[in-house]
């Protein structure tokens, strides 16, 4: 297992390099630049800015300089947030996004798996139809619709929870964004769990466990769930990366100072370094989380060997 992990980590280096290279050149192919404004800057001012940020150099030289800085962990200065470097922006916002995403992922796992098990155990009954109907609605209704509704009902009409803001991480301010982030994941995980559990409950090893007279709890949790949860584990890699790196819509609606708000702003304002930093962070999260998922898969399924 250790050798497999080391091989995967070594293999991630060229993968990240390819992603960095493609992102570096593609963002510069797009029309416009980081200093293009409605009212154009004076030629001398533009020349000085290009020189300060080393954008006057040939593109290949800019690429080499960026790789050298990246090798030292320096993501460069932000062209839009000019008082901050990309490292400083991520240092401030990424922990908040990770915290919200972790809570949302934990909530989605607990509720999604429980609802999926209930639906599988009562297949084609009222509870099964209810869970699947709610799950379908949760998947189809986007979170930019759910968020204002929850804000309006729980924040404005009943005045139970704050409608926005971070308030230094006060627990009440986290509830609405966490629930809104978790709802689509709960729906997807419940559907995945239901389908896999129905198949697992009909498998030979579960029938053998029933024949031995094991309790329902032991059959469901120890035997059926171990194989029934595998599709959920496979789904967790990209889902966790998306949740942990922030949500543009959720953080914008609730005024959360995470990294999600930087994604669109960086692209619209051609903030090359911030776009690159965002891509690199997401790529690293996906690679590491997929590695963790593969390790968990092998631990849960004894037939899998790496």
Q: Which long-range contacts (CB under 8 A, 24 or more apart) does 152-161 make?
A: none
80 in any annotated domain: no
In this structure, the answer to whether residues 142 and 248 fall within a common structural domain is yes
Are 67 and 280 in contact by the 8 Å Cβ rule? The answer is no
Q: How many domains does the chain have?
A: 2
Give the list of residues 6+ apart from residue 283 with CB closer than 8 angstroms, or none: 15, 16, 19
In a domain, 220, yes or no: yes
pLDDT tens across 167-185, in order? 887 888 889 999 998 888 8
Q: How confident is the model at residue 305 (pLDDT cuts 50, 70, 90)?
A: low
pLDDT above 60 (res 290): yes
Range of the domain at 7: 2-71
Last residue of one domain, picked from the residues 71, 98, 124? 71
Residue 277 has pLDDT above 70, yes or no: yes
Q: Could you tell me if residue 83 is inside a domain?
A: no
pLDDT, tens digit, 9 for 90 and up, residues 95-153: 888 888 899 999 999 999 999 988 888 888 888 888 888 888 888 888 888 888 888 88
CA-CA-CA-CA dihedral for 237, 280, 284, 91, to nearest 10:
-100
64 and 141 co-located in one domain? no
Is 116 a member of any domain? yes
Task: Examine residue 242 and state whether it is found in any structural domain, yes or no.
Answer: yes
Task: Look at residue 85 and tell me if it is in a domain.
Answer: no
- Sequence-distant (≥ 6) Cβ neighbours of residue 50 within 8 angstroms: 35, 56
As a whole number, mean pLDDT of residues 235-252 equals 79
Is a pLDDT exceeding 70 seen at residue 283?
Answer: yes
Assess whether 52 and 110 both reside in one domain: no
Domain check: are 67 and 180 in the same one? no
- In this prediction, residue 232 carries a pLDDT of 87
Please give the residue that has the higher pLDDT: either 268 or 303.
268
Are residue 36 and residue 133 in the same domain, yes or no? no
User: In this structure, are 187 and 275 located in the same domain?
Assistant: yes
Is the separation of the CB atoms in 243 and 259 below 8 Å?
no
If phi over 0 gives left and psi between -120 and 50 gives alpha, with beta otherwise, what is residue 213?
left
**Residue 109 is encoded by which pair of tokens?**
């796992």
Identify the CA nearest to 278 among candidates 11, 101, 93, 62: 93
204 and 149 in a single domain? The answer is: yes
Does 67 share its domain with 153?
no
* Separation CA 61–CA 262 (nearest Å): 26
Mean pLDDT of 63-71: 89
Q: Quick one: 52 and 154 in the same domain?
A: no
Cβ contact 50:56 at 8 Å: yes
Shared-domain flag, residues 104 and 233: yes
Q: Is there a domain that residue 156 lies in?
A: yes
Residue 255 and residue 149 share a domain: yes
Distance, CA of 151 to chain centre: 22
Q: Specify the CATH number for the domain of residue 211.
A: 1.10.3720.10
**11, 85, 8, 79: which is closest to 294 by C-alpha?**
8
Task: Determine the distance from the C-alpha atom of residue 58 to the mean position of all C-alpha atoms in its chain, rounded to a whole number.
Answer: 35
Q: Is residue 79 part of a domain?
A: no
Confidence of residue 262 (pLDDT cuts 50, 70, 90): confident
Residue 220: HSE in the Cβ half-sphere, 13 Å Cα cutoff:
15
CA–CA separation, 29 and 50 (whole Å): 17
Give the tens place of pLDDT for each residue, 195-242. 888 888 888 878 887 887 777 878 887 778 877 788 888 888 878 877
Q: Are residues 62 and 105 in the same domain?
A: no
pLDDT band per the 50, 70, 90 thresholds, residue 25: confident
């Amino acid at each position: 297992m250790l050798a497999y992990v080391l091989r995967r980590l070594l293999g991630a280096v060229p993968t990240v390099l390819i992603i960095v290279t493609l992102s570096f050149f593609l963002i510069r192919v797009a029309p416009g630049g980081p200093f293009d404004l409605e009212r154009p800057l004076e030629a001398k001012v533009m020349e000085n800015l290009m020189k300060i940020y080393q954008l006057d150099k040939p593109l290949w030289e800019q690429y080499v300089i960026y790789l050298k800085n990246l090798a030292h962990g320096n993501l460069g200065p932000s062209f839009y947030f000019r008082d901050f470097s990309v490292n400083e922006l991520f240092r401030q916002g990424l922990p908040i996004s990770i915290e919200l995403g972790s809570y949302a992922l934990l909530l989605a796992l607990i509720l999604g798996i429980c609802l999926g098990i209930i639906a599988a155990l009562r297949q084609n009954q009222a509870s099964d139809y209810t869970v699947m109907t709610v799950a379908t609605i949760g998947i189809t209704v986007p979170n930019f619709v759910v968020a204002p509704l929850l804000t309006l009902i729980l924040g404005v009409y009943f005045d139970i929870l704050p409608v926005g803001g971070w308030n230094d991480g006060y627990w009440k301010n986290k509830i609405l964004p966490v629930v809104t982030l978790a709802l689509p994941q709960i729906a997807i995980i419940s559907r995945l769990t239901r389908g896999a559990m129905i198949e697992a409950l009909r498998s030979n090893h579960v029938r053998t466990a029933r024949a031995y007279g094991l309790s329902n709890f032991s059959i469901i949790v120890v035997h059926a769930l171990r194989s029934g949860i595998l599709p959920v584990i496979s789904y967790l890699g990209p889902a966790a990366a998306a949740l942990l790196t922030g949500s543009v819509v959720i953080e914008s609606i609730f005024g959360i100072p995470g990294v999600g708000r930087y994604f669109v702003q960086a692209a619209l304002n051609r903030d090359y370094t911030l776009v690159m930093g965002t891509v690199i962070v997401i790529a690293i999260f996906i690679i590491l989380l997929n590695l963790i998922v593969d390790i968990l898969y092998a631990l849960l399924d004894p037939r899998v060997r790496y």
